């Protein structure tokens, strides 16, 4: 009991500082509750909390099992009360309330949780655990009435790129339950590895689950080969059916539904290397998409899904559907014949044909199809639900067409994106989502209209694991940003306050660290790139820029004035402050309006290894009186190695004595095909 005592002592010492900015007490609860009313007096938490409930059957067994293993997840031991009158904690079903809602009443001598269902009672317990952890043994009297905004509050874990053992998954399920997340989306198959036992196709776990490379990066850049599980170099793994059943049952008892994803038609290199007859070419290591022109493809997919359905009781089966190249389909005679027979105009409609057929199979088994927003291409299947990742547009389009949608835009919900200063963070996907960005997402703003918002089921955070080889690194990326997504999914917008949430997160991060988790240490976060917070005022500010050549339309920032508007870029090359060029040298000429002394010229460039963004090989600086004949000032060579894999930022600059009207900054590409150059602001002093 020493650990609990120390935690409560620390909380009690901080009690005077736990008010909100308005002076009201804070609950410390994540997600923020719907209604909080403080009362008089306090409840003193005993070492052992006697409890009673009117739950029965499996629901009672589930709750009792949780109380027995709650350990550090609750600040007291549990024991069944000898009689209802002796219970200090009563959990009681009530006729009122919406699914998963609860009312938590803390009075001087007793705590009561009422809810319309077992999930609500469980969530009331999670709120009580956080309330007690925040306030210590003396919990102020309070009445909390709470209910979720959305029925779907999810987390997706990619175990294809790097396999995670069952125990790791269950550790994350514990935290999901604490923060009232109720859908675990298990990304079980992808090109990097097959992770689920399918008895009819044993080669999937004997061969497609293993790679002769130490990590995803070795596989991605080393030939994308697979090997037999007995190969001495084999890396990977899979879940047996028994292990999957254990995870599903573990999640069910925590009121979490597990949704499996079996990727199709793209991201299927591992299957097609194992069963090349399912590809357009019929050869291994050629295609990444199943061949929808072959009936064998549908036989295979339906056989796999039959075993998946037998394992998973979830309503939804996720089929992926994203980023199919469709390259082989355009020349495949079987695909062309399928298109002719079915009256399909293009390969997008051919993908839609596959999705429609798979949905028909799932619906016939009493299940529903869920897929990434690319399943909209060529026409959405009649009963499909869309998971919108490329922004919100796909989800909104689906909702307007009368389909349900789950919002998971990469701009706010991708947990593999870097979350702080990339130069001090482990390598990550070449984009940026801070805790605050994740928190600022509104999946269903009122501006969409009631007919659209009612079709939006909720929100989900996604952890893709290309750049995340270890469990410790994965936890660092998940937490605490998934807490922000949990609050987005549960709390009404008017109850959300980022400053208050940030304070609760700092406490929660410490709590996780004490229990052996590895969250990002939010209290030491740098936050936005410091240079992006200040406005530049110098000789070049507001002056016109001559571009040779023009920037890419995909990365135009705010257009022609971006490089002299006084705004420097943040950590993310897609933040509309950085301008980008592909496969070219970049010549930028600033017209200062008149000839004048120039003492310093500077521009920032960035490198993002995984986005093919490279520092220029060198940057040349020059001045001119007429804009035609330039006198060189200096050439600054790049010092960042090509192999450097963290995003990094470097100022290239000249300083000295010169005069001129025109200032030229010329960035020379490094010669690698498919390479980008990005810069944000030219500064002339």
Q: Please report which confidence band the pLDDT of residue 497 belongs to, taking 50, 70 and 90 as the band edges.
A: very high
Average pLDDT over residues 488-501: 97
Separation CA 500–CA 521 (nearest Å): 17
Catalytic residue among 323, 425, 436, 531: 323
Q: Kindly tell me if the per-residue pLDDT of 218 is higher than 50.
A: yes
Report whether pLDDT(16) > 50. Answer: no
pTM: 0.93
Q: CA dist 285 to 191, 218, 332, 461, Å?
A: 11, 16, 16, 32
Active-site option among 267, 356, 403, 441: 267
The encoded tokens of residue 139 equal: 């919990």
Other beta carbons within 10 Å of 58? 11
Record the tokens describing residue 437, joined without a space: 């960005």
| Cα-trace Rg, the chain | 28
Residue bearing the bigger pLDDT, 366 or 424 = 366
- The DSSP letter of residue 506 is H
Q: What is the mean pLDDT of residues 462-491?
A: 98
Q: What is the pLDDT of residue 10?
A: 40
Residue 213 CB-half CA count within 13 A: 19
Q: Residue 96: CB partners within 8 Å, gap ≥ 6?
A: 116
Q: Helix (H) and strand (E) counts for the chain?
A: 18, 28
Assigned token pair, 439? 């928190």
Rounded CA-CA distance 359/20 in Å is: 49
* Residues with Cβ within 8 Å of residue 469, at least 6 apart in sequence: 162, 215, 216
620-624: long-range contacts, CB 8 A cutoff, minimum separation 24: 620/664, 620/665, 620/666, 620/668, 621/654, 621/663, 621/664, 621/665, 621/666, 622/663, 622/664, 622/666, 623/598, 623/658, 623/659, 623/660, 623/662, 623/663, 623/664, 624/660, 624/661, 624/662, 624/664
Q: Strand 89-93 relative to strand 48-53: parallel, antiparallel, unpaired?
A: parallel
Cβ atoms of residues 551 and 581 within 8 Å: yes
Concerning whether 323 is annotated as a catalytic residue, the answer is yes
- Of the listed ranges 22-26, 115-119, 274-278, 679-683, the one predicted with least confidence: 22-26
Encoded tokens for 548: 């040779």
Region 392-419: what's the mean pLDDT? 96
Q: What mean pLDDT is predicted for residues 402-423?
A: 95
Asked whether 193 and 44 are in contact (CB, 8 A), the reply is no
At residue 12, the pLDDT reads 37
- Match 């500082």 to its residue by tokens: 17
Q: Which long-range contacts (CB under 8 A, 24 or more apart) does 132-135 make?
A: 132/45, 132/74, 132/75, 132/76, 133/7, 133/11, 133/28, 133/75, 133/507, 133/511, 134/11, 134/18, 134/26, 134/27, 134/28, 134/29, 134/507, 135/11, 135/12, 135/15, 135/18, 135/28
Q: Which residues of 609-626 are buried (b: 16+ CB within 10 A; e: fewer)?
A: bbbebbbbeebbbbbbee
- Bridge partner residues of 417 (DSSP): 429
Helix (H) or strand (E) holding 406: strand 405-407
Q: Coil, strand, or helix at residue 108?
A: coil
Contact 649, 606 (CB under 8 A): yes
The answer on pLDDT for 396 being more than 80 is: yes
Give catalytic status of residue 235 as yes or no: no
**Is the pLDDT assigned to residue 291 strictly greater than 60?**
yes
pLDDT above 60 (res 632): yes
Using 50, 70 and 90 to split pLDDT, how confident is the model at 646? Answer: confident
Q: Is 49 helix (H, G, I), strand (E, B) or coil?
A: strand
Domain ranges of the chain: 2-146, 152-524, 530-684
Return the SS3 of 414: strand
- Residue 455 reports pLDDT greater than 70: yes
Please check the confidence at residue 17 and state whether its pLDDT lies above 80.
Answer: no
Cα 427 to Cα 15, 413, 416: the distances in Å are: 38, 18, 10
287 exposure class (CB count in 10 Å sphere: 0-12, 13-18, 19+): buried
Q: What is the mean pLDDT of residues 443-457?
A: 96
Cα gap 13→293, rounded to integer Å: 69
* Cβ–Cβ < 8 Å for 390, 410: yes
Helix H segments across 14-144? Answer: 57-69, 118-135
Note whether 399 and 383 are within 8 A (CB): no
**pLDDT bracket for residue 2 (50, 70, 90):** very low
CA distance 189 to 508: 32
Using 50, 70 and 90 to split pLDDT, how confident is the model at 72?
confident
User: 161 near 237, Cβ under 8 Å?
Assistant: no
Which string of b and e fits 446-470 if b means at least 16 CB within 10 Å?
eebeeebeebbbbbbbbbbbbbbbe
pLDDT band of residue 424 (cuts 50, 70, 90) is confident
Burial zone of 572 (CB within 10 Å; 0-12 exposed, 13-18 middle, 19+ buried): buried
Beta strand ranges found along 4-76 (DSSP E): 35-44, 48-53
Report the distance separating Cα 464 and Cα 549, nearest Å: 35
CATH classification (class only), 152-524 = alpha beta
Residue 556 CB-density burial (10 A; 0-12 exposed, 13-18 middle, 19+ buried): middle
Tell me if the bond preceding 480 is cis, omega within 30° of 0.
Answer: yes
How far is the C-alpha of 433 from the C-alpha of 443, rounded, in Å? 16
Examine the residue annotation and report whether 187 is marked as an active-site residue of this protein: no
Residues contacting 57, CB < 8 A, separation 6+: none
Look at residue 21 in the predicted model and tell me its pLDDT.
39
Which of 128, 101, 111, 100 minimizes the C-alpha distance to 53?
A: 111
CA atoms of 525 and 520, how far apart (whole Å): 9
3.40.190.10, 2.40.30.260, 2.60.120.260, 2.40.50.100: which CATH number matches 530-684?
Answer: 2.60.120.260
Choice among 62, 90, 190, 620 that is catalytic = 190
The DSSP string of 467-526 is: T--SHHHHHHHHTTHHHHHHHHHHS-GGG--HHHHHHHHHHHHHHHHHTT-----GGG--
The whole-number pLDDT of residue 5 equals 35
Class of domain 2-146: alpha beta
Predicted local confidence at residue 339, as pLDDT: 97
Asked if residue 15 has pLDDT above 80, the reply is: no
Q: Please give the structure tokens belonging to residue 122.
A: 């469980």
Q: How far apart are CA 101 and CA 120, in angstroms?
A: 5
Distance between CA atoms of 666 and 616, rounded to whole angstroms? 9
Per-residue confidence (pLDDT) for residue 663, from 0 to 100: 98
What are the backbone angles phi and psi of residue 186, rounded to the nearest 5°?
-105, 105
Closest CA to 567 of 422, 401, 679, 664: 679
Q: What is the pLDDT of residue 674?
A: 87
Contact 424, 526 (CB under 8 A): yes
Per-residue model confidence (pLDDT) at position 430? 84
Q: Which of 225-234, 267-276, 290-299, 419-428 has the lowest mean pLDDT?
A: 419-428
DSSP H or E segment with residue 463:
strand 456-463
**Predicted local distance difference test score (pLDDT) of residue 456:** 98
Reply yes or no on whether the pLDDT at 8 is more than 70: no
* Weakest-pLDDT range from 81-95, 188-202, 323-337, 423-437: 423-437
């Amino acid at each position: 009991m020493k650990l609990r005592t120390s935690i409560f002592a620390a909380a009690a010492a901080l009690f005077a500082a736990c008010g909100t900015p308005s002076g009201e007490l804070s609950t410390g609860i994540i997600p923020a509750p719907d209604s909080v009313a403080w009362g008089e007096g306090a409840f003193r938490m005993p070492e052992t909390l006697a409890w009673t409930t009117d739950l029965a059957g499996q629901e009672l067994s589930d709750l009792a099992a949780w109380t027995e293993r709650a350990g550090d997840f609750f600040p007291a031991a549990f024991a069944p009360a000898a009689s209802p009158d002796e219970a200090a904690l009563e959990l009681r079903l009530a006729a009122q309330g919406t699914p998963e809602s609860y009312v938590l009443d803390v009075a001087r001598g007793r705590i009561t949780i009422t809810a319309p269902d077992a999930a609500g009672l469980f969530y009331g317990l999670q709120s009580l655990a956080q309330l007690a952890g925040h306030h210590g043994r003396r919990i102020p009297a309070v009445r909390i009435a709470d209910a979720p905004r959305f029925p779907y509050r999810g987390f997706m874990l990619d175990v294809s790129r790097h396999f995670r053992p069952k125990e790791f998954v269950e550790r994350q399920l514990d935290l999901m339950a604490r923060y009232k997340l109720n859908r675990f989306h298990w990304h079980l198959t992808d090109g990097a590895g097959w992770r689920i036992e399918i008895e009819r196709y044993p080669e999937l776990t004997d061969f497609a689950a293993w790679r002769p490379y130490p990590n995803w990066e070795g596989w991605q850049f080393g030939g994308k080969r697979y090997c037999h599980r007995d190969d001495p170099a084999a890396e990977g793994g899979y879940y047996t059916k028994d292990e999957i059943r254990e995870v599903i049952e573990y999640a069910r008892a925590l009121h979490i539904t597990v949704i499996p994803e079996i990727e199709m038609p793209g991201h299927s290199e591992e299957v097609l290397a194992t069963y090349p007859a399912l590809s357009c070419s019929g050869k291994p290591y050629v295609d990444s998409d199943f061949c929808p022109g072959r009936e064998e493809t549908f036989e295979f997919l339906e056989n796999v899904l039959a075993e998946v359905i037998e394992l998973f009781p979830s309503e939804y089966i996720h089929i992926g559907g994203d980023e199919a190249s469709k390259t082989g389909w355009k020349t495949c005679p079987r695909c062309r014949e399928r298109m002719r027979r079915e009256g399909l105009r293009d390969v997008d409609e051919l993908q839609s044909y596959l999705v429609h057929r798979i949905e028909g199979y799932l619906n016939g088994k009493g299940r529903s199809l869920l897929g990434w927003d690319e399943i909209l291409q060529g026409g959405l299947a009649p009963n499909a639900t869309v998971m919108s990742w490329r922004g919100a547009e796909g989800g909104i389009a689906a909702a307007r067409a009368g389909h349900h949608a789950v919002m998971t835009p990469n701009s706010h919900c991708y947990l593999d994106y870097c979350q702080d200063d990339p130069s001090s963070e482990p390598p990550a996907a070449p984009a940026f989502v801070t805790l605050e960005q994740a928190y600022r997402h509104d999946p269903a703003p009122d501006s969409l209209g009631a007919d659209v918002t009612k079709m939006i089921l909720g929100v989900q955070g996604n952890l893709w694991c290309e750049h995340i080889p270890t469990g410790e690194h994965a936890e660092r990326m998940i937490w605490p940003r998934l807490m922000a997504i949990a609050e987005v999914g549960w709390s009404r917008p008017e109850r959300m306050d980022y400053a208050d949430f940030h304070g609760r997160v700092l406490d929660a991060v410490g709590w996780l660290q004490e229990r052996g988790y590895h969250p990002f240490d939010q209290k030491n976060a740098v936050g936005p790139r410091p240079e992006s917070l200040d406005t530049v005022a110098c000789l070049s500010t507001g002056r016109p820029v001559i571009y040779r050549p023009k920037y890419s339309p995909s990365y135009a920032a705010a257009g022609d004035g971006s490089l002299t508007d006084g705004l420097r870029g943040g950590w993310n090359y897609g933040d509309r402050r950085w301008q980008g060029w592909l496969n070219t040298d970049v010549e930028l000429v600033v017209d200062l309006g008149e000839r004048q002394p120039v003492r310093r010229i500077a521009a920032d460039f960035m490198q993002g290894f995984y986005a093919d963004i490279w520092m220029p090989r060198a940057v040349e600086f020059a001045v001119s009186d007429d804009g035609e004949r330039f006198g060189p000032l200096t050439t600054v060579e790049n010092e960042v190695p090509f192999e450097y894999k963290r995003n990094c930022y470097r100022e290239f600059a000249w300083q000295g004595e010169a005069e001129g009207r025109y200032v030229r900054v010329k960035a020379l590409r490094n010669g690698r095909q498919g390479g980008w150059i990005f810069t944000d602001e030219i500064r002339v002093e």
